[in-house]
Amino acid sequence: FSSVELTQFYLDRIASHDSELNAFITVTAEQALATAKTADEKIASGSASGLTGIPLAHKDIFCTDGVKTSAGSKMLDNFIAPYNATVVEKLKSISMPMLGKTNMDEFAMGSSNENSYYGAVKNPWDLDRVPGGSSGGSAAAVAAKLAPIATGTDTGGSIRQPASLTGITGIKPTYGRVSRFGMIAYASSLDQGGVFASSAADSALLLEAMSGFDAKDSTSVDIPVPDFSTTLNDSLKGLKIGLPKEYFEEGLNSEVAKVIEAAIEEYKKLGAEIVEVSLPNTHLAIPAYYVIAPAEASSNLSRFDGVRYGYRCEDPVDLTDMYMRSRGDAFGREVKRRIMTGTYALSAGYYDAYYLKAQKIRRLISEDFQKVFEKVDVIMGPVAPETAFKIGEKSDDPISMYLSDIYTIALNLAGLPGMSVPAGFANNMPVGLQIIGNAFTEGKMLNVAHQYQ
């Protein structure tokens, strides 16, 4: 079948199912079909690449030229991006039709997708439950087959946790692997774009197409991007898997633990060797993250002031009034909470006590990982301590919400790649196995994931 037919198939599924799921903020049907037509021409003339003609959805945090880019916020509800993010541009240049822009927690702050100005996203496995966040729209769209693949971003778990909660594959690459240019910034030293797909093999293709050095992103790393697909079938004989004891302690739901343990058993059968390891500073990852990420966010979000773009309050009496009411009206509760804690942590007198200390902890966490990677090839554990929770269950308890990221956040602080791979079900809801690799070992991780799938 043609790309036009394939694209139309997904557009029809979006039309019939998205009113229930709320995975999309914007659907770009016309544009998608036009790109699909170009793709079919390229395929016919032999100038196509592997993914040409395959439709996808982009998280609404990636700037899309001429298309609304909201970051899930009222602040950008009227914002039409004037250029494409590098990721968007790269995939557009190989004629991958964009089906639309997916729902997300406002400015990527959240673990349940309930912090979106556009309303909560439903988990396709149980409509009363969250799909995880912040890339909940992309995860729900792929899980419900409203899109075959989608992009997301992961600052502290926002690809892996929703992938785990919706039973799909998600990969957060090494910091610097994928360009951040045109990705609306939350916490710049942690943000990284990545992939949602229904298999490791599909993830390999999309990740390869998205990756690579970009002169427009000063933290982009100039190293070659391997062909991730060619190593998918490598044998896992002798693979050393580290199991950090801190990832299996209290707080982990016992049913989830059983699924993870069963997955590890499968890896033993594939010839892997299990090594017990320790990441002793794991318990400090969430506290350090919730100083560093809000500190960076408070600075990044200062650009939304009602002056050049985005929301502006009505009839401001003077400049201060415009700043205060524009920001006061258009930012949601969680975003305000982060701006306040971040500003506090950076203020004179508190900087050393909070921000500097958090940075020192960040270094210790990174060193923990490096010590472990002297002994093992990959680390495995759960992605999230429990399966998808009910919509509304944690809304009034930010600390309990923050704890959803207990196993995901540490590797963002260390800049490392991580994956969620569907491993089974607990309480009738999907469970993801987390695979953590050393820097720039995405090829190995995808190989490890593919052998299990």
Interaction of residue 109 with ligand GLN, rule CB under 6 A = yes
The nearest distance, CB 214 to ligand GLN, in angstroms, is 20
Interaction of residue 85 with ligand GLN, rule CB under 6 A = no
The nearest distance, CB 293 to ligand GLN, in angstroms, is 5
Closest CB to ligand GLN among 116 and 158? 158
**Which residue among 8, 35, 103, 111 contacts ligand GLN (CB under 6 A)?**
111
Cα–Cα distance list, 122 to 15, 72, 127, 129 (Å): 16, 15, 5, 6
Q: What is the CA radius of gyration of the chain?
A: 21
Closest CB to ligand GLN among 134 and 341? 134
Binders of ligand GLN among residues 403 to 422 (CB under 6 A) are 405
With CB atoms as reference, the residue minimizing the distance to ligand GLN is 158
Closest CB to ligand GLN among 22 and 155? 155
Interaction of residue 137 with ligand GLN, rule CB under 6 A = no
Cα four-point dihedral sign 60, 65, 68, 69: positive
**Which residue among 4, 14, 54, 108 contacts ligand GLN (CB under 6 A)?**
108
The nearest distance, CB 134 to ligand GLN, in angstroms, is 4
Binding mask 163-202 for ligand GLN (x = CB under 6 A): -----------------------x----------------
Closest CB to ligand GLN among 221 and 403? 403
Report the C-alpha gap between 453 and 451 in whole angstroms.
6
Interaction of residue 110 with ligand GLN, rule CB under 6 A = yes
The nearest distance, CB 144 to ligand GLN, in angstroms, is 21
Cα–Cα distance list, 320 to 307, 313, 328, 329, 336 (Å): 11, 11, 12, 14, 17
| Chain position carrying tokens 């804690």 | 341
Q: How many CB atoms within 10 Å of residue 262?
A: 13
Report the C-alpha gap between 23 and 145 in whole angstroms.
11
| Chain position carrying tokens 């989830």 | 256
Q: Using CB atoms within 10 A of its CB, is residue 45 exposed (0-12), middle (13-18) or buried (19+)?
A: exposed
Return all residues near 402 (Cβ < 8 A) that are at least 6 apart.
111, 286, 290
Q: Kindly name the residue from 158, 199, 203, 404 that is annotated as catalytic.
A: 158
Binders of ligand GLN among residues 273 to 302 (CB under 6 A) are 293
Closest CB to ligand GLN among 10 and 196? 196
The nearest distance, CB 181 to ligand GLN, in angstroms, is 18
CB 207, CB 152: distance < 8 Å: no
Strand pairing report for 169-172 and 418-426: antiparallel
User: 134: closest CA among 105, 103, 101?
Assistant: 105
For the chain, the straight-line distance linking the first and the last C-alpha, in angstroms and rounded, comes to: 26
Closest CB to ligand GLN among 76 and 293? 293
Give catalytic status of residue 203 as yes or no. no
Interaction of residue 434 with ligand GLN, rule CB under 6 A = no
The nearest distance, CB 291 to ligand GLN, in angstroms, is 12
Give catalytic status of residue 158 as yes or no. yes
| Chain position carrying tokens 């914007």 | 26
Q: Using CB atoms within 10 A of its CB, is residue 208 exposed (0-12), middle (13-18) or buried (19+)?
A: buried
What ranges make up the beta strands (E) of 22-173?
24-27, 56-59, 98-102, 150-153, 169-172
The nearest distance, CB 83 to ligand GLN, in angstroms, is 22
- The H-assigned helical ranges of 86-235 are 86-93, 136-143, 160-166, 200-210
Give catalytic status of residue 59 as yes or no. yes
| Chain position carrying tokens 């093992």 | 376
Q: Kindly name the residue from 70, 111, 116, 134 that is annotated as catalytic.
A: 134
The nearest distance, CB 430 to ligand GLN, in angstroms, is 18
Q: How many CB atoms within 10 Å of residue 269?
A: 8
Binders of ligand GLN among residues 141 to 160 (CB under 6 A) are 154-158
Q: Kindly name the residue from 59, 90, 101, 172 that is annotated as catalytic.
A: 59
Binding mask 371-410 for ligand GLN (x = CB under 6 A): ----------------------------------x-----
Number of residues that bind ligand GLN (CB under 6 A): 13
Closest CB to ligand GLN among 170 and 306? 170
Report the C-alpha gap between 290 and 280 in whole angstroms.
19
The nearest distance, CB 165 to ligand GLN, in angstroms, is 12
Closest CB to ligand GLN among 109 and 204? 109
Q: Which amino acid is at 40?
A: D
Closest CB to ligand GLN among 291 and 378? 291
Positions that interact with ligand GLN (CB under 6 A): 108-111, 134, 154-158, 186, 293, 405
Q: Which residues are catalytic?
A: 59, 134, 158
